[in-house]
Amino acid sequence: MRQGAQVSMSQTARPERTGAARAEGVEERELIERVRGHDLTAFERLYRLYQPRLTRFLSNVVQRPQVLEEVVDDTMMVVWDTAGNFRGASKLSTWIFSIAYRKALKARARWPDPVEEDPRDVRVSEEPAPDDHIQHERLHDALVAAMDSLSADHRAVVDLTYFHAMGYREIAEIMHCPVDTVKTRMFHARRRLREALGGTSADWL
Amino acid sequence: MAETRDPHEQAEELLPWYATGQLDDADRSIVEAHLAACARCQRQLAGERRMVDRFQSFSPEVDSGWVRMRQRIEAPQRPRQSWIGQTASDFRQLLKRPAIAALATAQVGLLAIAAAIAPSLGSAPAYVALGDRAQPSPSANVIILFRPEATEAAMRTALRQNGASLVGGPTDADAYLLSVPARQRSAALEKLRADREVIMAEPIDGAIQ
């Protein structure tokens, strides 16, 4: 029973598996309705739901902390000001992330990211770690470094996929690109991550 | 046609979204049909799940961001560069909305008074430690204007009877800023407005509830 492909498939049958991957609930729909009426309490709730997700997502596109903060807030201001424009044709998250991505691209044009590191420099040490905690930290650092080795667009796709648990069609809508572009970016990003993670790839694969 | 593609490539490409449960039925069938026979993709799938877990393992702090956002909403007309870290300015902005609210709700006879107070609040000193953003309350949640002839004893009584404490003032227009327990504010406002010594008492909605 619990061997090989059977295990893989039964594990995959579980629905969404994380907080970020939760289905967009009735709550968000209700919140945006109230935000239309400039209900500040509803907007605070919406802000608290989205600020961490947007900060996280946009940090892949704009890397300057001050600019990042500004873009997140600018995005939420647009949500506050134009909530009436959201008609429910797409998911609320798609609408908000799409605003955020456009804002981020504009900000990036104004404030180019610092020069990206050579991915060869971010390969992590393969020395054995003294304990699990340090091992975990090392893997985390390796992941951050590996992400830094990717282009902004690749980072965005990776993070929208793994952290925000969005499907490739939704990502394509947010980034205004064909679905095949999303798939290709993800494919290449995974390969680059494997390369950059170097010594830890065994842990990944 | 998608079916003409190499099944391994096709499945491999979809694995991340399979791992997060974001594939539609057609895509999922493609992946599952291939997974059953491909040990490499099974290993990759395990790797994808680890990546998801790893990506989920940290999240940024949100509270400081929300305080910033709220101040921006309360002060839509303030230039962007100035809305960070200016306590006195924050205080003035906090009072702008209530001042407007006061204008809207005050009786006609009070409009002139409210109008006189509103601009003067701009020069009110920063009595309230709004700069302490980790703990934004308590702060003023009521603005009150007593009759010029009101005695100190009468004012004190009015405050005591309503559980109010003095947070700031007098402003240039001789208004005072009060802190009233949030749940009692409506009742307190009603009683204060009924008080002969009180010309105007209005909520300040900038206070964190």
Q: What pLDDT, in 10s, does the model give residues B73-95?
A: 887 564 544 434 444 444 444 44
Q: Nearest by CB to B52, which of A9, A40, A162? A: A162
Please, which residues bridge with residue A78 across strands?
none
Phi-psi group of A25: left, alpha or beta (phi > 0 → left; psi -120 to 50 → alpha; rest → beta): beta
pLDDT for the residue A137: 65
Best A11, A12, A143 member to test B by mutation, with max B CBs in 10 Å, is: A12
Between CA A82 and CA A95 the distance in angstroms is: 11
pLDDT tens digit string along B149-202? Answer: 888 888 888 888 888 888 888 877 778 888 888 778 888 888 888 888 888 888
Selection from A17, A27, A71, A67 nearest residue A49 by Cα:
A27
Domain borders along chain A are: 24-110, 120-204
Q: Nearest by CB to B16, which of A5, A162, A205? A: A162
Architecture of domain A120-204 in this structure: Orthogonal Bundle (1.10)
Between CA A180 and CA A165 the distance in angstroms is: 18
CATH topology of domain A24-110: Rna Polymerase Sigma Factor; Chain: A (1.10.1740)
Chain-chain contact of B17 with A161 (C-beta, under 8 angstroms)? yes
pLDDT for the residue B103: 42
Q: Are A152 and A107 in contact (CB under 8 A)?
A: no
Selection from B31, B73, B47, B206 nearest residue B136 by Cα:
B206
Between CA B117 and CA B202 the distance in angstroms is: 12
Walk along chain A (205 residues) in steps of 10 and give the mean pLDDT of each run.
Answer: 37 39 71 94 94 88 85 95 91 95 91 55 47 65 79 92 93 96 95 72 46
Domains identified in chain B and CATH numbers: 2-55 (no CATH), 87-203 (3.30.70)
Chain-chain contact of A8 with B45 (C-beta, under 8 angstroms)? yes
Residues 6+ apart with CB under 8 A from B89: B78, B82, B83
pLDDT for the residue B77: 60
Between CA B110 and CA B106 the distance in angstroms is: 6
- Chain A, 26 to 65: residues with Cβ < 8 Å from chain B are 40-41, 43-44, 47-48, 51-52, 55-56, 59
Between CA B17 and CA A21 the distance in angstroms is: 11
Q: Are B72 and B176 in contact (CB under 8 A)?
A: no
Q: Nearest by CB to A161, which of B12, B16, B69? A: B16
Between CA A107 and CA B16 the distance in angstroms is: 29
